[in-house]
Structure formats: structure tokens, C-alpha cells
Structure 1
Amino acid sequence: MPSVFVQGRPVDAYPRHAPEAGNGTVRRVTEVGEEVLHKSSRECTEFGPDLAALIDDMFVTMYVAEGAGLAANQVGVDLALFVYDCPDDDGVRHVGHIVNPVLDEQGPAGRVLLDETEGCLSVPGAAMRVPRPDRAVVRGFDKDGAPLVIEGTGYFARCLAHETDHVDGRVYLDRLSGRERRRALRQVEDNREEVLARRAARQAQLT
């Protein structure tokens, strides 16, 4: 089985970081409570160099923040789009972007929920258990407007569901009970400064 899939297609070899990151500029990651994170993102209708440049910026920002995925509203841009570089539970690496993503609805029949720990670059320093289906299918387009279908299992399925939530204006805290949400926000209070300092140091190394 191939060890890397790019845009849903197997490749023989791939660098440590997506090549797009080499063209990008690091942007500030928005944090929970900022309006852009809590509303549905605007559908992307223009495909071209501006969109490609945003994707470049999102890749390098994701790597600096040590994330597995990043949505456009996490860099303050109100567009339906996310990038990812994420392994699945079999160790296969998945890299790519998807514009105007829509997550396939799954009925309860045959659906398996995995209750595992989840974090978010926009909720710095917190990690909580969130139930997610063990399989996800996301449909959308690539940066040139060509139709795209991305499928994932395990941890990569979690990533696809998490990032599609962002596009729909939800953060994973919205899936927690009030008590668990407060616990997560206390984790942010305790750990945020350390996380942001680590990102700043990593940015100095990568750029």
C-alpha cells in the first residue's frame, strides 16, 4: 500500500513538508471567541492565483503551529477551505487541500464512533475527548476548481470532520458538555503562553 496520498491520489515519494509551504507566509492563528471562527464560511467562487497563495500561507502556518489540518477561518479568512497533512491509523500520510468541503452524512447503521483525544490550533493548549466517526468522506474542489473527493479513516477521518466543522463555524468545544468546555478553557488559560512561545520559536526555525 502506498505510504503517501496527495489530493487523494497515491504518490511514490513526497518531501517532509508540502511544497506549497515554501511559497507561503506565516499568518496569525485565530483563537476561540473570535467571530470568524463561529460563523459559516463563505463559499469560494473564484479559483486562481489568490486562492493558491492563500493555500501556500495556510500550509506554512499549519506546519509552524504543528497542526494536522488548518481551515481558512483559522487564519482570519472567511472562505470555505482547509489544508491538511495528517496520518491515518495505518501510518499512511495524507496531504492536500479542499475548497468548499461538504462532509457526507452517515446514518447510524454501520457507523463506528471513536471517542479519542482531539486538539485544535485555535484552542491552544487544550485537548479533550470527542466522539467522531471512524470514517469520513468529504467532497469539494481543488484550487483550480476541479471536483475532489477525499476519504479517510481513523485519525485522518477525525481531521476531515474537525476541519469541515471549522468551515461550518464550529470548533470542537461546541461538541462538549458545558462542564467539559469549561475544563478545556481552563487548559487554554494554563498552557496558551507556552504553546504560542513554541510556535514563535518554530517559525524562527522554518522561515
Structure 2
Amino acid sequence: MAIRPIITHPNEILTTKCKEVEVFDEKLATLLDDMYDTMIASDGIGLAAPQIGETIQVAIVDLGEGQEVIEMINPEVVEIGGSEIEVEGCLSFPNLYGEVERPFYVKVEAQDRDGALYELEAEDYEARAILHEIDHLHGILFTSKIIRYVDIEELENEEEEEA
């Protein structure tokens, strides 16, 4: 397991549509482990393979709080519902934040690291993180969805008010 450098914007790989994973082997398992270590070291909650230079459909999400790490290989959104606007950031866009509208609910079909197909349903913040990472696999950046940019001081003020 290793911490890999995160690719930051601008970089063509971030807008590249990723290829489907066809081989489920030790190399894929190592990639997933490296992605997890990289995400944790970068204080992120999600990471997609293109963010570390791999143009394959692999993404992870970990909201912490005792929840299991979500590993999505070849994910497909099969159902969405509701809508909400929240502030998002991205490891590939350091110190850039903006309000983004996304579905409140998502159902996804994906494969795990062994290739087994599974279905996942998520709501609210978890759904947002999953959709953000799946967008990366299609070369879609959150900046293309920003309704309003939010500066860091505004975010810090909101956090202080909530405390």
C-alpha cells in the first residue's frame, strides 16, 4: 500500500472518460488499497482512479463514522430521486468550494474488488459523495456544476456557527 500523488486541475486526465475494468486481480486490489491510503492521507472522503492517474472506472467513498468503505468498480447509476444544494470541494481542486445541486437519493449497481455485482442505495451526504466520484469516472468535474463559488472564510464561519 502506498500514498500516490493526487492529480490537480488543470490536467487532461481529469476530463477523460474512464475504461471499464475487465480484470479483477491483485493489481486492482493494490490500486484500491493505495487509493484508500491516499484518500485518508489527503483528508478526503472519496477518490476516483483518474485522480491518481489511472483511467479506469474505480472509485471509493469513506464517510468514516464506523461505516464500511464503499469500493465501486464499473459503477452505474440506476435510479436517482430528490434534489439538494450543498457545498462541495474536491482533492483535485485544492481550496476551491462551491454550491452544487445533486440528487438526494441514488441507487447504484457496481462490482466489488472480486468482480461480484452488488447494488447500493444512499441518501444525502453519502449519495452526494458517490455521485461526485462517479462523475470523475466520466470526466465530469464538479466545477461544471457549481451554482455559486464559496470562499474559505464563508465555510469557516458556517462551521463556527454550527459548533
TM-score by length of 1: 0.69
Residue pair 1:26, 1:58 contacting (<8 A) in 2 also: yes
Q: Give 2:159's aligned residue.
A: none
Match of 2:62, SS state, is strand
Larger Rg: 1
Taking the TM superposition and a 5 Å limit, the aligned residue runs for 1:102-113 are: 102-106=76-80, 111-113=81-83
Q: Give 1:80's aligned residue.
A: 57
Residue pair 2:79, 2:108 contacting (<8 A) in 1 also: no
Q: Give 1:152's aligned residue.
A: 122
Aligned length: 152
- Given the alignment of the two structures, is residue 99 of structure 1 paired with residue 69 of structure 2, yes or no? no
- Given the alignment of the two structures, is residue 60 of structure 1 paired with residue 60 of structure 2, yes or no? no
- CA 1:94–1:130 in structure 2 vs 1: closer, same or farther (change >3 Å)? farther
Match of 1:50, SS state, is helix
For 2:31, give the aligned amino acid.
L
Residue pair 1:83, 1:98 contacting (<8 A) in 2 also: yes
**RMSD between aligned residues:** 1.8
Residue pair 1:65, 1:121 contacting (<8 A) in 2 also: yes
Runs of 4+ in 1 over 3 A off after TM superposition: none
| 1:133 aligned to which of 94, 103, 110 | 103
Deviation at 1:35, TM superposition (A): 1.0
Q: Give 1:200's aligned residue.
A: none
Q: Any stretches of 5+ residues in structure 1 without a counterpart?
A: 1-23, 189-207
Q: Give 1:169's aligned residue.
A: 139
Match of 1:104, SS state, is strand
Match of 1:66, SS state, is coil
* Identical amino acids, percent of aligned pairs: 32
TM-score by length of 2: 0.86
For 1:160, give the aligned amino acid.
I
Q: Any stretches of 5+ residues in structure 2 without a counterpart?
A: 153-163
Match of 1:125, SS state, is strand
1:63-94 CA-to-partner distances (Å, cap 9, x unmatched) read: 0111111000010101101011116xxx6734
Counting strand residues as a fraction of each chain, which structure ranks higher?
Answer: 2
